[in-house]
Structure 1
Amino acid sequence: MSAERAPSPTRWWTLGVVALGTFMLMLDLSVVSIALPQIHKSLGSSFAELQWVFDAYALTLAIFLVAAGSFADRIGRKKLFLWGFALFTAASLACGLAGDATALSLYRAVQGVGAAVMFAVGPSMLSHEFHGKERATAFTVFGAAVGLAVATGPLIGGSLINALSWRWIFYINVPIGILALLFGALRVRESVNKRAHPTDWAGLGTFSVALAALVFATIRAPREGWTSPVTLGLYAASALFLILFAVIQHRLGERALIDPAFFRSPTFAGISLVAMIGNAAALPSVFFETSYLENVLHVDAWGTGLRFLPLTLAMFVAGAIGGGLIGKVPFRILLGGSTAVMATGILFLNLTEADSSWTVLVPALVIAGFGMGAFNPARAALAIGVAEPAKSGVASGINETFQQVGIAVGIAGVGAFFEHRVATEFTASAAGQQMSPAAAEEAAHGISAGSIDAVAAAAGPLRDQVLPAAQDAFMTAFHGAMTLSAILGFIAAAIGFLMLRTKDLHASALSTIPPDVDEDPSPREDDETVPAASA
């Protein structure tokens, strides 16, 4: 066996296809936020249904990530990546054609399955193709694709919505996906892990039920009641299936969906928690900032996208800087510091008022953008770096799972807190007291969904009292939700500073290891590579 592995002649094509797929799947996570008011008007959806448009995607992303990583190692990373890309593209078309909110959420769930495959397999494809200093470059590009998609989602979404309709945020994926599939089939090499274990279907099933029940209970609780039999039953089911999942994982060991052995490393456990809690803080802030701009300040979709440019630019700059610091600055500083900066920026959202100028958002957008941008490349590199190369697909899948669980539960949890706070504030207001309890509760649900003006107009003679009460309830709930998001961000930062250790990195992660550890650049004994032309 040679001491050095020859650079792959198709590695840059692999990077291009993976980065494009990653950009698209992350774009469809962030771009939807700008379209929610239009989806609400077009399909007549409730606040809970709007949350599902967001969460159905994140939920299936989280559920299938780990299974996709292990499955890809066994049948071929390129093959499964392209199948995932094809499913994502087809589901995007179905989302654009959806006739109601339920159908849209269902197709978003299917879209999330395809995205899960791409998100899990992409980093392991890069880990297989790139080595040494080039690996840092590859993951910098990968992280930049993630950050750029999240940052530019509002601008891209706003331009498509204003020029065409909200449906085009999904239609645009179709021609891009077809081109990417063509280049991927012709230019990307296949690789497999001959020793990969079969998929843990029992673990996949119990994990899916546990997570779905948790998110469903949290989203429905504001309407059903936090102590209602439905809510408590769903939480109990979630806990039961989570326990079953843990038992199955313990018994299967390294053959499990989520191998418990990974979590013997404090750094692996730490980066998983940081990814989950950090994303539970970050994505709800974007969700509610969009609602504030469009529903309180009455900015149109294109204008909202433009006003997110400070976030876009900050994330782009910080992503480039953060990627360049990998291997030069300890991961605990990169990840703990970036999440602390993000949380600080989110706190600045408490400066907003119902009659503020949009510029009050600029400090929050810039500061939080720097934190989010610096976080992504370091998180991706560390998730791969703590595992041996043969298990990179599984390690990547586990970390992405925690990230998507954070997004799904964060949107559900912070959204439920927001909706409950709106209901409490509005029903207790003078205007709410003059309405029947049922009418006040229904009005509160409309306010949560962003229909502030419609709720006031429907109040008839109470309009002049209902409008300011609705705005006050929205803003109070908004400030509370953003404070909660910031607290989550600071918790993630504390975990990053305390649990991430450079010494836990695998020796193959040359660009992210201390000087006293040697790289082993030799090919993996359990991997086979198939040239692109014959793959």
Structure 2
Amino acid sequence: MDHPHPAGPARRRLAILAAVCLAALALPLSFSGGAVATPAIGRDLGGSAVALRWITNAFMLTFGSLLMAAGTLADRYGRKRLFALGTAAFALCSLALGLAPSLWAVDLLRAAQGVAAAAALAGGTAALAQEFDGPARTRAFSLLGTTFGIGLAFGPVLAGWLIHTVGWRAIFLSSAAAGALALAVGVPRLRESRDPHAGGLDRAGTATFTGALSCFTFGLIQAPESGWSSPLVIGLLGAAALLAAAFVAVERRAPRPMLDLSLFRYARFVGVQVLPIATCYGYIVLLVLLPLRLIGVEGFDEIDAGWMMLALSGPMLVVPLAAAALTRWLAPGILCGLGLLLAAGGLWWLSLALRAGAGPAALAPLLLIGLGTALPWGLMDGLSVSVVPKERAGMATGIFSTTRVAGEGIALAVVSAVLAALTQQRLLAGMPAADAGRTAYDAAQAAAQLAAGDFAHAAAWLPSVAGATLRQGYADAFGLLLRGLAVVTALCAIAVFVFLSGRERSAPDAAGAATAP
């Protein structure tokens, strides 16, 4: 259990912060690196469009669905213990991925890597919340958010360089090295801490939540290949709805729920959860879809694609820290809302710049999207900790991180399915009526391959269609998708203005609100 103790030496706490940030750095490197490596993995190991999409989605699914459960385990069994176990397992899974013999082995290991990442992040962030108090804790979590940004910024560039010079397996081996270093630096300096009031693992809640998220993601990934009306897809989406309803019912009756639904009565708590949802649709999905377009459809090599992606992710290096400084004059909610509006404008601009293909005209809108997203990025981790008492740090970080990571997995599945459907419509619209009826299935398969960044297999499904026609149909669908994402991001900005426009309350007020009946 937790015991009162004086603050540790500054050097020890900085070493702990560095270790947690290093572990956090490996997570976005693994995420964005896996997206850039997908075309190379497909060329090396083969596989269907569905199997290739699971390279990213398997990691995001297990990572997002188990974060809340990992937070509960951290509070009960020890934050240091869970951080150590998760980081060690993450390093081992990354090492195994570097030696994987088949695409299915990659997919399964990515799922296991996501489980380990959930344990490492939940344990590390909950331990961090016990080491820092007040403004120092806000600064520590802002630095943690900036570390995520650095991983996202340099992930595509590093992945492109590694693929070009060594091969895609080196991406996962570098993640293993980062995990091992975090383990060696942080664990000896961490103090064990627990929540003395923590209950047992909410098994029913964990099972229903994971089942709902798995069925929903699987259904969305399978829809472009099997069709939205297929019994498999309908069954998966129906099961997801039933399991989601069961999860809510279980959590409402649990004495110590994994997700405290009563927290959603408070406007600031709801507003904090909107922030990662907005960044999912306005930013994260581009980190996956844009490399697939640049490398798999436009024909860029991995290094050139990585450098172009730097325009999108580069602002994460400096803007989050600047945003933290700006909170002296503007409320965090105002800054977050303004940033999301900038990102929405950048998405609409990008839809126009990419009409004729990827090129220098896309750099300015990508920079604007990155700038707008980076404003809330450095603030939302600190905001998330302020809405619950310190002793419920596992709950706070678990809920926020689950919203972020599960939202990313859902956003990727939704956006990929929408892109495939829009591409199919554009391909069919460009065919003669006589051919469209006979090739509807082939067009669906070609659209799924294009959405997965595999132009060669897409062209094989429609050999009578010129390559320029395939690319133009895909580009038109991509532009329409970007405009839809701009609308979603703008709506999230309005919600943030409504819920988070005021100044942040003091920690006692936030704690009282979080624990009120």
Q: How high is the TM-score relative to the length of structure 2?
A: 0.92
Q: Classify 1:15/1:35 alpha carbon distance in 2 versus 1 (closer, same or farther; 3 Å).
A: same
2:450 matched to which residue of 1?
A: 447
Q: 1:41 aligns with which of 31, 40, 43?
A: 43
The Cα shift of 1:12 comes to 0.7
Are the aligned partners of 1:339 and 1:492 in contact in 2 as well (CA < 8 Å)?
Answer: yes
Listed one character per residue, the Cα deviations across residues 50-75 of structure 1 (whole Å, up to 9, x for unaligned) are: 32111111111111111111211111
Are the aligned partners of 2:446 and 2:457 in contact in 1 as well (CA < 8 Å)?
Answer: no
Code of the residue aligned with 1:135 in structure 2: it is R
Q: Does 1:325 align with 2:350?
A: no
Counterpart-to-counterpart distance in 1, 2:344 and 2:270 = 21
Q: Classify 1:19/1:353 alpha carbon distance in 2 versus 1 (closer, same or farther; 3 Å).
A: closer
More moved, 395-404 vs 351-360: 351-360
2:158 matched to which residue of 1?
A: 156
Listed one character per residue, the Cα deviations across residues 475-508 of structure 1 (whole Å, up to 9, x for unaligned) are: 0111122222222211221211111265774525
The Cα shift of 1:163 comes to 0.8
Counterpart-to-counterpart distance in 2, 1:59 and 1:455 = 26
Counterpart-to-counterpart distance in 1, 2:384 and 2:324 = 14
More moved, 46-55 vs 147-156: 46-55
Q: Does 1:495 align with 2:495?
A: yes
- SS of aligned partner of 2:466: helix
2:364 matched to which residue of 1?
A: 363
The Cα shift of 1:228 comes to 2.3
Counterpart-to-counterpart distance in 2, 1:393 and 1:506 = 20
Q: Classify 1:405/1:459 alpha carbon distance in 2 versus 1 (closer, same or farther; 3 Å).
A: closer
Counterpart-to-counterpart distance in 1, 2:504 and 2:208 = 30
Are the aligned partners of 2:416 and 2:451 in contact in 1 as well (CA < 8 Å)?
Answer: no
Are the aligned partners of 1:64 and 1:113 in contact in 2 as well (CA < 8 Å)?
Answer: yes
2:402 matched to which residue of 1?
A: 401
Counterpart-to-counterpart distance in 2, 1:35 and 1:3 = 47
1:301 matched to which residue of 2?
A: 302
Counterpart-to-counterpart distance in 2, 1:52 and 1:35 = 13
Are the aligned partners of 1:427 and 1:441 in contact in 2 as well (CA < 8 Å)?
Answer: no
2:227 matched to which residue of 1?
A: 225
Counterpart-to-counterpart distance in 2, 1:108 and 1:433 = 43
- SS of aligned partner of 1:24: helix
Are the aligned partners of 1:213 and 1:235 in contact in 2 as well (CA < 8 Å)?
Answer: yes
Counterpart-to-counterpart distance in 2, 1:325 and 1:128 = 26
2:479 matched to which residue of 1?
A: 479
The percentage of aligned residue pairs carrying the same residue is 30
Q: Classify 1:160/1:130 alpha carbon distance in 2 versus 1 (closer, same or farther; 3 Å).
A: same
- SS of aligned partner of 2:193: strand
Are the aligned partners of 1:318 and 1:373 in contact in 2 as well (CA < 8 Å)?
Answer: yes
The Cα shift of 1:362 comes to 0.8
Listed one character per residue, the Cα deviations across residues 294-324 of structure 1 (whole Å, up to 9, x for unaligned) are: 1343210011111222223322121121232
1:167 matched to which residue of 2?
A: 169
Code of the residue aligned with 1:93 in structure 2: it is L
The Cα shift of 1:378 comes to 0.9
Are the aligned partners of 1:276 and 1:405 in contact in 2 as well (CA < 8 Å)?
Answer: no
Alignment of 1:41-440 (within 5 A): 41-253=43-255, 255-326=256-327, 328-353=329-354, 355-356=356-357, 358-430=359-431, 434=435, 436-437=438-439, 438-440=441-443
Code of the residue aligned with 1:63 in structure 2: it is S
The Cα shift of 1:452 comes to 2.7
Counterpart-to-counterpart distance in 2, 1:95 and 1:144 = 27
Counterpart-to-counterpart distance in 2, 1:64 and 1:457 = 39
Counterpart-to-counterpart distance in 2, 1:453 and 1:240 = 39
1:26 matched to which residue of 2?
A: 28
Counterpart-to-counterpart distance in 2, 1:78 and 1:496 = 34
Counterpart-to-counterpart distance in 2, 1:455 and 1:501 = 47
Q: Classify 1:425/1:260 alpha carbon distance in 2 versus 1 (closer, same or farther; 3 Å).
A: same
2:515 matched to which residue of 1?
A: none
Are the aligned partners of 1:281 and 1:410 in contact in 2 as well (CA < 8 Å)?
Answer: no
Counterpart-to-counterpart distance in 2, 1:95 and 1:207 = 27
Code of the residue aligned with 1:478 in structure 2: it is F
Counterpart-to-counterpart distance in 1, 2:354 and 2:380 = 34
Code of the residue aligned with 2:267 in structure 1: it is P
Q: 1:14 aligns with which of 13, 16, 40?
A: 16
Counterpart-to-counterpart distance in 1, 2:83 and 2:328 = 28
- SS of aligned partner of 2:200: coil
Q: Classify 1:53/1:182 alpha carbon distance in 2 versus 1 (closer, same or farther; 3 Å).
A: same
Listed one character per residue, the Cα deviations across residues 319-350 of structure 1 (whole Å, up to 9, x for unaligned) are: 12123234653232122222222222222221
Counterpart-to-counterpart distance in 2, 1:371 and 1:401 = 23
- SS of aligned partner of 2:194: strand
Listed one character per residue, the Cα deviations across residues 399-447 of structure 1 (whole Å, up to 9, x for unaligned) are: 1101112111111111001111112221332379658424444433333
Are the aligned partners of 1:341 and 1:367 in contact in 2 as well (CA < 8 Å)?
Answer: yes
Are the aligned partners of 2:222 and 2:233 in contact in 1 as well (CA < 8 Å)?
Answer: yes
Counterpart-to-counterpart distance in 2, 1:357 and 1:477 = 14
Code of the residue aligned with 1:301 in structure 2: it is E
Q: Classify 1:161/1:265 alpha carbon distance in 2 versus 1 (closer, same or farther; 3 Å).
A: same
Q: Classify 1:329/1:197 alpha carbon distance in 2 versus 1 (closer, same or farther; 3 Å).
A: farther
Code of the residue aligned with 2:308 in structure 1: it is R
- SS of aligned partner of 1:6: coil
Structure 2's unaligned 5+ residue stretches are: 513-517
- SS of aligned partner of 1:97: coil
Counterpart-to-counterpart distance in 1, 2:501 and 2:266 = 9
Counterpart-to-counterpart distance in 2, 1:116 and 1:179 = 18
More moved, 51-60 vs 500-509: 500-509
Are the aligned partners of 2:418 and 2:481 in contact in 1 as well (CA < 8 Å)?
Answer: yes
Counterpart-to-counterpart distance in 1, 2:186 and 2:52 = 34
Code of the residue aligned with 1:452 in structure 2: it is F
Q: Classify 1:296/1:507 alpha carbon distance in 2 versus 1 (closer, same or farther; 3 Å).
A: same
Are the aligned partners of 1:70 and 1:393 in contact in 2 as well (CA < 8 Å)?
Answer: yes
Are the aligned partners of 2:40 and 2:168 in contact in 1 as well (CA < 8 Å)?
Answer: yes
Code of the residue aligned with 1:346 in structure 2: it is L
Code of the residue aligned with 1:269 in structure 2: it is V
